[in-house]
Amino acid sequence: MKETFVNGVPAPWLPVKAKEENKCCTVEIWGRTYTVDKNLLFSSVTTQGVELLASPIRINASENGHKIEWRDIDCFLGECDQKQAIIYATAQSDAFIVNTCMKVEFDGCATIDVKLMPKGYTVPQLFGLESKESTTTLLDYFWIETPVKKELASLYHVYPNDVMPSDTGETDNSVKYSGSGFLDNRNMDLGFCAVAHLGNDDLGLSFLAESPNGWEPESMQKAYQFVEEENAQILRIRLLDKQPYDWEHSEAEKPEFGQYSYPSVCFRLAMQASPVKPFPNNPYKEKLLHIDCFKKVQADYIDFLANPVKEGDTEIGYDRIKRLGVTTLVIHEKWNQTQNYWRLTQRTSHQLRTIIEECHKRGIKVLPYFGYEMSSMSDFWTDHVELYAKKSVDMRKRAVAWYRFPAQRACPVCYASPFAEQWSDGLEKLVDEYNFDGVYLDGTGMVWSCGNANHGCGYTDNDGVRHDTHPVFAVRNLFKRLYDIFNSRGKVINCHISDCVSLPGMAFAHSLWLGEYIQYSLVKEGSTEMPEGYLRASHSGRNFGLPTEFIVYENRPIWKFEDAIAFSLVHGILPRPNDICGPLEQMSEIWKIIDRFDIDSSTWHPYWNNHDFTADNKAVKISGYKDKDGKWLLFIANAETAEIASCTITGFKGTVTDEESGEILTAENGSLTIKMPRFGHRIITVK
């Protein structure tokens, strides 16, 4: 078994290293360095040796009509151990004090507390030994601004993913792709975001918050802003655009007396640079088949897999998936009679043991489904459904309690409730008893909004209106616990999320499955072109350090598995088959082609950074791997629905082979002319 801990820190991370020198505090974690140098927040954030910031993260504020120049800035290193380091910082202006506390953990997640308060009086002033002239405590605005280098801020990802207007008021993004895309050096206003990520195809920086509780921006539609500067793209968080509510309604009638009675104002955020851990040299080693997700299986899995699955064929399911190269079988929710429960019925227990035994005989791993719900069949439902349930304050956003079979209702849970601890304890007992190879988690990594006051979610604003919160830290804590359980046993966590890459939790997943969010429109309407910015920002996985597969729900001929192959290949990912017949057969051939190539010692050259091969049609995208001997494995895709009758690609040197057909292709003078159907793809080797 591979090493699962390094000096008390879970692999693949390394122990935290921290030092303080000349009012400069530095924390080193795997692949990244965070520095606070005579500043209230991070002065430098490097990842993979690249500096992300154009200038230090700043608190931009104004008092009494003039911009604040913070003075007497100091920072201190607090408690440090192998898992975390704490940095404190302080500064003052004429009227105010700001204190910050930054806790940096081994995976690079930094919890940031910002506290603003009036300066008040010194002890000699209070005793009348020194004069105490009143200082006007009138705050005009209080923002956090993060200047990311412009050349590193080409892509964004946000959640919740509402349509976002530009600074001119125009809507630049369609609903289905609004959560991720090209930033293109634009100014853009956003509502509150639990997740806001800026970066490029290789790295980035996320800011996270659970709610805008206590925030008072000019407009909640401008709580976040992307603001272009000459050399930087600014992520601005507008915490306050006026005096805080508690100050306006304090006993002090005027700001001149605020230093007596104004309470401190506190804000909590999180920041995390990515990639959060090493991206594997070969992200294609595991070949996953997912049965019964969208493409429904009518029989129980124990019967389905033990019998022929294709009409006119005598080969049983287990033997079929082994022959076609599956290394990991993901069984969907149907395996468990009581949805997402850790206490199994007798029938469920027998089914799970049998499937695991048959798969392990064939060298196939098994990941059973667990998800975001609790079942009305469970024995804790009566006592705890109201405590555990995820409930939005807005009835229009209330989560659906799904009908499941055998007949039951499955209600979404919130991991800020005690359910998280009971569930993770239950999973630990299950994996030890049944020895499955990890878990497939449906939606568990999402930071869905919840307003259930029974377990502490939601808040009441200054007008007495209730609002939801997003359990960023609760989901993080759950995943840290799950990682301890599964990774320490040499097992994996595969997480399915929909347009919400919240890195504080997802750092502890081994791999992701994304794409469901846009399937809702793709299966009904199809697509006219590949959403390049959307896929590059949130689905390739390399910028996060998380290997990813693409989810596909077919509705032929509108949207086909072949279309998804074109979407995926050129982004360095694969579509995961969720059908044991046609899609699995297609992926089996692609797996074989990839396995024949030495991916482990090769370098990835995506179409946006591939200067070796060029096409005379911009709809044709060419990505590939180049091995140490100069051999290429090329993925070529038509990014549009329009058929391309003739496209000439240049750059070929050597023998050119169409790997799917086996045909040797003729490249005259280094050029090859091919035909590309709608969302067509070609896999070619050059040696």
pLDDT in tens, 579-630: 999 999 999 999 999 999 999 999 999 999 999 999 999 999 999 999 999 9
Region 523-541: what's the mean pLDDT?
93
Tens digit of each residue's pLDDT (9 = 90 or more) over 97-108: 999 999 999 999
What does the pLDDT read at residue 134?
A: 72
On whether the pTM is more than 0.75, the answer is: yes
Question: Are 267 and 216 spatial neighbours (Cβ–Cβ below 8 Å)?
Answer: no
Tens digit of each residue's pLDDT (9 = 90 or more) over 58-102: 999 999 999 999 999 999 999 999 999 999 999 999 999 999 999
In which band, very low, low, confident or very high, does the pLDDT at 472 lie, cut at 50, 70 and 90?
A: very high
What is the C-alpha separation between 544 and 247, in angstroms, rounded? Answer: 41
pLDDT at 263 over 50: yes
Region 425-445: what's the mean pLDDT?
98
In which band, very low, low, confident or very high, does the pLDDT at 170 lie, cut at 50, 70 and 90?
A: very low
What is the C-alpha separation between 417 and 474, in angstroms, rounded? Answer: 9
pLDDT at 168 over 60: no
Two tokens, residue 133: 């002239």
Query: What Å distances lie between residue 386 and 169, 259, 317, 435, CA to CA?
Result: 41, 43, 41, 33
What does the pLDDT read at residue 169?
A: 44
Question: Are 49 and 30 spatial neighbours (Cβ–Cβ below 8 Å)?
Answer: no
In which band, very low, low, confident or very high, does the pLDDT at 186 lie, cut at 50, 70 and 90?
A: confident
What does the pLDDT read at residue 468?
A: 96
pLDDT at 173 over 60: no
pLDDT at 163 over 60: no
Question: Are 79 and 104 spatial neighbours (Cβ–Cβ below 8 Å)?
Answer: no
Average pLDDT in the chain:
93
What does the pLDDT read at residue 521?
A: 86
Say which amino acid occupies 617: N
Tens digit of each residue's pLDDT (9 = 90 or more) over 495-517: 999 899 999 999 999 999 999 98
Q: Which residues of 189-228 are buried (b: 16+ CB within 10 A; e: fewer)?
A: bbbbbbbbbbbbbbbbbbbbbbbbebbbbeeeebbbbbbb
What does the pLDDT read at residue 127?
A: 73
What does the pLDDT read at residue 568?
A: 98
Two tokens, residue 209: 């918050």
pLDDT at 166 over 50: no
Sequence-distant (6+) residues with CB within 8 A of 600 are 281, 282
| CA 65 remoteness from chain centre | 40
Question: Are 613 and 623 spatial neighbours (Cβ–Cβ below 8 Å)?
Answer: no
CA dihedral over 553, 557, 558, 563, signed as positive or negative: positive
Question: Are 302 and 351 spatial neighbours (Cβ–Cβ below 8 Å)?
Answer: yes
What is the C-alpha separation between 607 and 653, in angstroms, rounded? Answer: 18
What does the pLDDT read at residue 256?
A: 75
DSSP assignment letter at 612:
S
Query: What Å distances lie between residue 23 and 76, 114, 143, CA to CA?
Result: 7, 19, 24
pLDDT at 153 over 50: yes
All domains in the chain, ordered by first residue:
5-274 (2.70.98.10), 288-596 (3.20.20.80), 604-686 (2.60.40.1180)
